[in-house]
Amino acid sequence: MATPTPTAEAFSVSGKIRYYSNDEAVGSAIVEGQGAMSQVVQSDPAGAYLLSSLPAGNWGVVPRKVGDARQGVRVLDSTWALQARLGIRTLSPNQALACDVTGNGSVSVLDATRILQFVIGLIPELPVTRICNSDWAFVPAPRFVPNQTVTHMQVTTGACQMARIGLEPLQGDASGQDFLGIAFGDCTGNWSPTAAGGGTDVTTRSAPGVRLSRRIVGTGQLLVPLSVESTEPLLALEIDLRYDPDQLRLLRVRRSSTTRRALLQFNSAQSGLIRIGLATAEPIDTGQRPVLLVDFERRRNVSAGRARVRVARVVADTTAP
């Protein structure tokens, strides 16, 4: 009588990925089981993942995620980075990991600048994304099982150690091997899987609460001061201006005396559109004073009265809760 061939044992590892600030499910994360072979799965819309049919032995679980981060990153995140650098705001370890978009292990004014540039489209990705090959950081938050080790994500200049849960060796099914997801740049933690979220959308197309005026400056030039009419001091401003490039040529966007200490970036790569981001560590009481000055040159034979500049979109964050 033939002796039956023993069947090799196989186990599973499962868990969920939740957002660090609000416990929202993080779907479409790539989860790799690293062992004698590699198995790659994706978290489902509920944030759940399952690595199955894993032979006994040493295994590591490593998540990463590309995409979906931009919707959680706004100009207010740049403000938070500035405040953290100046000691006005204390960040939690997870918030500090989100804010360190340069990937050098600390939060600085340069991080605030890169966040601002990312929001208005001056850079296609944050520097840490290139270092880690991921738009997201992860923090292990597993249920204890035997032989478990935890490696936290560490990013230094030019190097990235991804978060990892080790099961060495894996000797049975391991459930509850969870991670917290953090979108790089989302210092405020306002990411949501279904909406951009966060901030106060003061205006959309018609722009109530934002005032553009005009002044003729020199021959053929037009100065457009921009004021935000808010009852609360301003912390962050994200604004799109539209103009007719056949009438006007943009010269520059600059701070006013009211915002002279603020961080300013603008993107005019698309003809007829100016995307502007303004972040400040200390609240600005705008009153009726301009917060931005936009300089144009009028095209030949275009009068100041004919030239049109309008607000297409603006999101403002104030000190109000």
pLDDT mean values, one per 10 residues, the chain (321 residues): 60 97 96 95 97 96 94 95 96 97 94 97 96 96 97 88 96 97 96 61 45 81 90 91 95 95 97 97 87 93 82 85 49
Are 134 and 76 contained in the same domain?
yes
In a domain? residue 4: no
In a domain? residue 1: no
Are 32 and 164 contained in the same domain?
yes
Are 150 and 207 contained in the same domain?
no
**DSSP 8-state secondary structure symbol assigned to residue 308:** -
In a domain? residue 3: no
Are 98 and 154 contained in the same domain?
yes
Are 218 and 165 contained in the same domain?
no
In a domain? residue 74: yes
The C-alpha angle 156, 189, 184, rounded to 5 degrees, equals 30
In a domain? residue 264: yes
- pLDDT tens per residue, range 139-165: 999 999 999 999 999 988 778 999 999
Q: Which of 198, 216, 242 is the last residue of a domain?
A: 198
Its pTM stands at: 0.89
3-state secondary structure of 250: strand
The CATH number of the domain where 290 resides is what? 2.60.40.680
Residue 68 burial by Cβ neighbours in a 10 Å radius (0-12, 13-18, 19+):
middle
In DSSP notation, 170-205 reads: E-S-B----EEEEETT-SS----SSS---SEEEESS
pLDDT, residue 2, reads 56
Residue 54 makes CB contacts below 8 A (sequence gap 6+) with 10, 11, 12, 13, 33, 35, 39, 170
Beta-sheet pairing, 179-183 with 10-19: parallel
Are 21 and 125 contained in the same domain?
yes
pLDDT, residue 294, reads 97
pLDDT, residue 199, reads 40
Task: Name beta bridge partners: 254.
Answer: 293
Q: How many domains are contained in the chain?
A: 2
Q: Which of 177, 198, 219 is the last residue of a domain?
A: 198
In a domain? residue 48: yes
Are 239 and 158 contained in the same domain?
no
Are 121 and 264 contained in the same domain?
no
Are 146 and 168 contained in the same domain?
yes
- pLDDT tens per residue, range 222-281: 999 999 888 888 999 999 999 999 999 999 999 999 999 999 999 999 999 999 999 999
Are 165 and 75 contained in the same domain?
yes
In a domain? residue 21: yes
Are 71 and 206 contained in the same domain?
no
In DSSP notation, 1-48 reads: -PPPPPPPPEEEEEEEEEETTT--B--S-EEEEESSSEEEEE--TTSE
Which amino acid makes up residue 292? L
Q: Which of 198, 219, 236 is the last residue of a domain?
A: 198
Are 149 and 248 contained in the same domain?
no
Domain, as residue range, for 81: 11-198
In a 13 Å sphere around the CA of 260, the CA atoms on its Cβ side amount to: 2
Q: Show the tokens assigned to 255.
A: 């701070």
In a domain? residue 270: yes
pLDDT, residue 204, reads 31
